[in-house]
Amino acid sequence: MDDFLAFYNTLEVDKGLIVMLMLMSFFVAIFHTFILVGLYEFDFKPKWLFFVLNPLSVGLCSLYDNKLAALLAVGLFLSVFVLGIVGMIYAMIRSGYQSSKEESERREREGLAKIPLWKKILYSVSGLLFFGFVLTLGVPYFILIVFIILPFLTSIFKPSNKKRFYRIQRTLPTSNIRSVAMGLAEISGTVKMIEPMISRIGKKECIGFLYTIETVSTDKDGKDSYSLESSETICKPFYVQDKSGQIKVITEGIEFIDFEIDERYQSSNKRYTQYLLKENMEVLLIGKASVKENNEPVFEKEEIKNVFGIATVESVDNHNTLRPILQSAGYFIYFWVILIALIFLTPVKLRNNQLEIGKINLDLPFQNSKPVKSLDDFYDNIYNSYESKPEEEIYSQPATGAEPVPATESTPSKQTE
């Protein structure tokens, strides 16, 4: 603490640096907004709040003390990583819970047996033990495994139906209905009704609907959060028509992707939402083209790829437009996550008002570690590889290729007689 105060007292911050820090805090506001809306699902208004609040707070602090304003700007920058890490953990837990409920509902709809309770408990305990094991490796390895390796493996081996739909859509060409090949295919056109049905909310005439019920929980600050309780998709067969012809869609197992909300209301700690498929909507479908016994071509679920989705053409276009931006943001987050892990792996020491950075240590995590029985033990194990080395060895690494130079022996000069 004394070293930090000494460093703070010698810190020099001029007006030009304050302007740069205010500009940096403006860009930091982009990540604050993205994290709170995307990961925490906060629906705060106005959306430009942090774009004004961040630079304004730095500017107001500079009126009192420039050094305090600089520390605030650094704190805002570091808060991005704290909010991002906590938010990713929260989003993973929320996504896992929702996926579990959706899987249970899917098995119930398809008449499959429910997953036994003991299996759910076993999966949960195994997950907790795995995270506990990863925590004992230390913060750098925890960050790399949880936020890079696991999401990457999950996206490959267990993609969601929505991700599977859009991944296939990116590579599969849209076929004309008249010349569509049998098997996995993508078609697009206008919906034509065969037989109408009535929706759950509002008693509206439609071809099909997706109806969800969510449980509403309110925290102490009055903010509502929602968890999926049930989801129901009912759809009558219909035709899809393009310029070349039309094909009948057998809707068993169909999934609505990114439909706009038709109706929504909240009552008695429940939120009810309805999405409608109506006549003359422009849609895109991915499934299997096949032929029935009477040689009638139909479009149905593709069992091998386990995909049968329908989305509006507008939502697909919006997704394809935003995807490169979101992908770039993902690469940026991965870069900073790796950078944070390297920072944790690098010993830093404040000495004589100077920051001394040691050599990055990539030794095995359990080397010289001790059992974790307290928070202090956990932090000790993070840098256990450094404790086994002398401080001079860590912070005074010789340059590669340097050779020692012998000192020149000096001889006393003779005085002129």
C-alpha 350/C-alpha 37 separation (Å) is 37
SS3 212: strand
- What 116-124 contacts at long range (C-beta under 8 Å, 24+ apart), as own/partner pairs, is none
Per-residue pLDDT of the chain (417 residues; tens, 9 = 90+): 566 666 666 667 778 888 888 888 888 888 888 888 877 877 777 878 888 898 899 889 888 888 888 888 888 888 887 887 787 777 777 777 777 776 776 677 666 677 777 887 887 788 778 777 776 776 666 666 766 677 666 665 556 678 888 889 989 999 999 999 999 999 999 999 999 999 999 999 999 999 999 888 887 667 777 878 888 899 999 999 999 999 999 999 899 999 999 999 998 889 999 999 999 999 999 999 999 878 889 999 998 888 899 999 999 999 888 878 877 777 777 677 677 666 666 666 666 666 666 665 555 444 444 555 554 554 555 445 444 445 455 445 544 444 555 544 544 444 444
For residue 191, the cross-strand partners are 240
Q: What share of the chain is helix, strand, coil (3-state, %, to 5)?
A: 45, 25, 30
Structure pTM? 0.55
DSSP 227-257: EEEEEEEEE--EEEEETTEEEEE--TT-EEE
DSSP 146-191: IIIIHHHHHHHHS--HHHHHHHHHHHSPEEPSTTPPSEEEEEEEEE
